Structures are given as C-alpha cells and as structure tokens.
Chain A
C-alpha cells in the first residue's frame, strides 16, 4: 500500500436491504486515506451500520463504485475482508456461551490463516499480543459469557486486532457501556491508532465520545452524508445540533 493512498473510495454508493424498495444509504461518496481515524456519526436509523457492512462487503451495493485497498469491493470481498478487522455492535452474549476469550480472539485470524491450514505458534503470538494490547491477557481462559459489557467489547477489539488488519471498522463501540467503560474503550482506540499503522473508521450515534485522535467526522442522516470535515468544525456547527439533541437521539 502506497503511503497516503486511499484505503476506502466510495462513489455514489446506494445499498438496499433485500426486499426493500427504498435504499438505506444513497449517493454516498467519500475517500478515506491510509492512517486516518474517521468517525461516522448519525442518529439511530441513519444507515451507519449499513455503510460499514457495505465497505466490508457483507451487504452489496446496487449503484455506484466502491473500492477498498484499491480493489473493487464486490469482486474482491473475500480478499478485502482478510485485511479488515470488524468490531460488530456490542451484541447480547449468552451468559452460558461456551467460548473462551482466547478462542474468540483467535477466531479473528480464521480467514487470514486460510482453509486447510492449522493454527500455528505465530497465530497464538498474535492472539497474546492483541489481548495484551487491550489489557485482557488475564481473561484468556475465561468464558466470554462471564464478561462485563466493556470487557466483552475489548475482546471483540482484540479479535479484530489479532487479524493484523490494515483497516479497522468499529460499529458503535461505546453502545451499552457505562461511562467508565466508555472512557476505557476511548483510551484504547487512541492507543491502537497511535501504536499501529492502521486506518480506523468508527460509527457512533453519540456525539460525546469522539476519540482524541479522530480528526475527521462524517455526519450521516437518513442514509445521506450531510457533513464531512474536521472534528472541531463539525462538532461546533449548528446543523449538528439540529440533527441531534445532545444525547445522540434524533429530535
């Protein structure tokens, strides 16, 4: 990858859910450069998750062109996904879930290891490194069902990092977390962006938690981009307060 080249290029993207007649996101155009930390914010139902899942090819766009790492998304989604760490929105985990934290983190490397190949020492080294980076090494042999929301979120982030991604996509990393856990995750994201050569795209409905190292904000509303610029300018703008009432909920 050439320094400062675009990691993501979207041109007039439109994505529908199967069976729906109105696109969830439309006319989405933006580029994200290598090493950027971008927050995409918008109220609930703005199309933020759809946009992330369009970027990693989980959802197919019907209009426009999308490129990640210079490769067209629809034609190369399996290859692209191996380089994208995806942290899904904090879902409710079954307390009896029979999975150990270390196995969940290792599962992030599944695509990278490839079919018909077994896990090597190098893979486990990446697991221990990622768990150490998020401060969860002591939880390696603990069941994921026994974790708090913040701890589980860290495991999901470690899982994405174990993949050694060039691009990290985070879907609502602060949702369902208390204030202390949110601060921890914010600090962690800043540290990851500082330590790793990585591009981070995070979606959130919460204006109050935009990490320090994030310097660009894209505002999404009703499936369209309505603002794209520097964090300070966007957060001070009047329009943002027309969309949000200060706590992330739509007016």
Chain B
C-alpha cells in the first residue's frame, strides 16, 4: 500500500463520497426516465469536453460541463420525443465523442498535460482539488434541496409523464433539470472516476437499489448510499492494489449489482420472464 499525506487522503475520500452521492442520486431519475442512452452519451461528451479544455489550456471541468450541456440541449428534445434510438446513440454518437476526445488529447500541449489527459481517461486519486471538492459539495447540496422541495413533482413525473402533465406539472422542466444535473454530476466526477467509466456510477447503484426496493422514496435514499459505499470501497481497493481508482469503483459497484441480482427478493418465485426482461432493459 502506498503512503499518502492525510490531507490528500481526506480530500480524495471526500471527493469519492460526494461523487458517489451526486452520480448515484441522479441515477435514480436517469434510470426511471429511460435516459440511460443519452446520459451515457453525455458522460462521453464530458470526457471529450475535458480533453478539449486541456487542449485549449482551460480547466477541463469547464470543457466537460459545456460539452455535456451541449449534448443535453441538442439531444434532450430528440430523446424526449422518442426520436432518438438508443442503438444510434451508442453506435454512432458514442464513437464520435470518443474519436473527438482522442483528437483533442493528441493536441494537448506539453508533457505535464498528457498526465492530466490520462487522468481524465481513467480517473486518479490525486486529481481531486479543493476547488473540485467545493463544486461537488455545492452540487450535492443543491441536489438535496432540489429533491426535498420538488419531491412530489419528481415522483409524479417518474411514475408517468403524461399523467403528471395532466395534473398540472411542468414535466419538461423536470426532464431537463434531470439532464442538466446529470451533466454536472458527470463533469465534476470525471477526474476522479475517469471519462470512460463515470456513467457506471450513475447506473450501477440505482440498478442495485431497484433489486430490493418497491418504494421510490427508499430508492432515492439508498441509491446514493450504495454509490457512496461503492466509491469508498473502490477507493481503498485502489490504494491497496494500485488499480486505477475509476476501474476499482466500477468493479466494486458492478460486483455489488451482480450480488444484488443473485439475492434479489424481486427475482424469486413468481417472477415471470417478462419481469426479468424488464429488469434487463433497465440495466
């Protein structure tokens, strides 16, 4: 195990906890709104944006936020009207974003920056700065306020958008709020978890919570808890084994999810093939 100064460890641990909280909290809504494809693309757009930021020598986080927001603004309305096939997103746009990112990485000036470039690719324990921590803390605080104040609206929208709209809820507002907060969560967690893996932190903890719980309120509470625990265990696994931190976090969250599928009470007797298919489609 590598020895680190306590202050660096504290910042990194806090970063892991807050990234786990923000990503997994947004996962609750992303999974329910069937936005996995667009969210997946947003995370890779954030990766391309971070590379772009490095190329033009600005904070990669700013580039990540701009690119993921751009994706949300362009593709959000298309996905909303079901005019965007998920296989198109994954097959065409995903590879396009990765290609863009690699082109930007190729033009990053200087040797020092190439180290940063690798960090945004697969994440790094050292990459969490005090500024990142502050932004993650602010995002987490805003998310808590957003969920507490608008819980009844979010619940209505998550159950059925058309019914929520018919009751007088502005569903479009909440749809785009989910996309934008997801863009922020992904962009701010990018340097810790890495651009290629950050979206797993959105999907895996929520999918795990879905295996056990029937109450949406409990999913909203337990999904971030699972996300935080996955991040912390992944963090210490990374310290012990010298694995890249992003990969460690994703391996842990994936292992927790597989374990959840095996022991899930929802999958025991009486569950039809249709139910199983619906779980798989949610993953």
Contact = CB atoms under 8 A, between A and B. Distances in A.
A241 B137 CA distance: 67
A110 B167 CA distance: 7
A86 interface: yes
Given A58-B162, A107-B155, A110-B164, A95 B214 contact: no
B160 A91 contact: yes
Interface string A102-142: 01101111111101101100000000000000000000000
B236 interface: no
B274 A98 contact: no
Contacts of A34: none
Contact of B169 (A56, A97, A111, A146): A111
Interface of A: 18, 56, 58, 78-79, 81-82, 84, 86, 88, 91, 94-100, 103-104, 106-113, 115-116, 118-119, 143, 145-146, 156, 159, 163
Contacts, number: 99
14 contacts: A58-B162, A78-B170, A86-B163, A88-B163, A88-B166, A95-B271, A95-B278, A96-B279, A96-B282, A98-B210, A99-B159, A107-B163, A110-B167, A145-B214
A95 B274 contact: yes
A200 B237 CA distance: 61
B210 to A, nearest CB: 6
Contact of A81 (B150, B167, B210, B274): B167
B3 interface: no
B165 interface: yes
B162 A88 contact: yes
A96 B274 CA distance: 11
A163 B156 CA distance: 13
A110 B168 contact: yes
A94 B275 CA distance: 7
Interface in B124-154: 149-150, 152-153
B214 A108 contact: no
B272 A112 contact: no
B213 interface: yes
Given A18-B81, A88-B162, A98-B215, 11 more contacts: A81-B165, A82-B168, A88-B166, A95-B272, A96-B279, A99-B216, A107-B156, A108-B163, A110-B168, A112-B167, A115-B153
